[in-house]
Structure formats: structure tokens, C-alpha cells
């Protein structure tokens, strides 16, 4: 086990590497052969920097057009400077939310990914708590 800068243990390699057997078309069906291309760690694929990352469970439907649904888990990376269009965890006017980070005319605002919701402009304060780097959904 490794330790972070504060001496806390960093869990690593909790899951075994899984075989990567190829790719699959999501459009028109095509023939494909199963072949072992490689193995990969889901931990390394989903989490860029374990020391700066945490999970949140999504509640609500304001990000469904971004493919983030109610009940999904999102991997958040702290201290990552958001770029326009990144999905972020924001503390805006004393409430937390998950939205797209946007700028217009030098002003920051939050944009939902659902036509039923309006953009949110900070009235008092806006603090960014991290950027979404992965979405995890379990079907069954």
C-alpha cells in the first residue's frame, strides 16, 4: 500500500485486471472475432489521481443529456481546473449541484444537460469542488 502526502493509505489494485477482448459496434451489427488484445485495470481507467479523487452518487435528472443519470456514481477529481464544458461539482449560493461549467461575457454560470432546466447564474457565491472524470453505472 502507498501513502498520500498526509500519511493516509491509498488503496490500489483492489480489482484484478480484466481482459480486453476487442471492440463492439453500437451502430450497424458487424462480425467480430474475440481475441485477447490486452488487460486493463478499471481502477486506473476510471481514476486519474486517487489521492485527489472521491465518489458521489447522483440524485436527479438535470444531467441526463450528458449521459449522467439518477443513481449513477461520478468520480470527482479535486483541484483540477475546469475547462468550459467540463462537468463540475459546484457550491452555488449555499447549495451543491452537478452541472456543466460555462462562461459568457467573462461571467461563469452552470448549465444543466436537460432541456427542462434553466442555466444557473451565481447570485452570491460559486465554489468549484471538483471535475467529473468518470461516470459509473451498474445495470444489474
pLDDT at position 82 is: 94
Sequential pLDDT tens for the chain (140 residues): 566 777 766 656 566 676 766 666 777 676 766 666 777 777 777 888 888 889 999 999 999 999 999 999 999 999 888 999 999 999 999 999 999 999 999 899 999 999 999 999 999 999 999 999 999 998 87
C-alpha–C-alpha distance, residues 134 and 109, integer Å: 22
pLDDT at position 140 is: 79
What long-range pairs does 105-114 form, CB within 8 A, spacing at least 24?
A: 112/62, 112/63, 113/62, 113/63, 113/64, 113/65, 113/66, 113/68, 114/61, 114/62, 114/63, 114/64, 114/65
All structural domains of the chain = 1-46 (no CATH), 48-140 (2.10.109.10)
Active site residues: 62, 99
C-alpha–C-alpha distance, residues 19 and 33, integer Å: 14
C-alpha–C-alpha distance, residues 92 and 110, integer Å: 9
Amino acid at each position: 500500500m502507498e501513502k498520500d502526502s498526509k500519511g493516509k493509505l491509498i488503496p490500489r489494485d483492489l480489482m484484478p485486471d480484466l481482459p480486453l477482448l476487442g471492440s463492439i459496434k453500437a451502430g450497424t451489427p458487424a462480425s467480430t472475432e474475440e481475441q485477447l488484445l490486452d488487460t486493463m485495470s478499471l481502477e486506473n481507467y476510471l481514476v486519474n489521481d486517487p489521492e485527489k479523487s472521491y465518489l458521489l452518487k447522483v440524485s436527479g435528472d438535470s444531467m441526463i443529456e450528458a449521459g449522467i443519470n439518477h443513481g449513477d456514481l461520478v468520480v470527482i477529481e479535486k483541484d483540477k481546473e475546469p475547462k468550459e464544458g467540463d462537468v463540475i461539482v459546484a457550491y452555488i449560493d449555499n447549495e451543491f449541484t452537478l452541472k456543466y461549467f460555462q462562461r459568457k461575457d467573462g461571467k461563469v454560470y452552470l448549465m444543466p444537460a436537460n432541456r427542462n432546466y434553466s442555466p444557473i447564474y451565481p447570485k452570491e457565491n460559486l465554489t468549484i469542488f471538483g471535475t467529473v472524470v468518470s461516470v459509473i453505472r451498474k445495470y444489474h
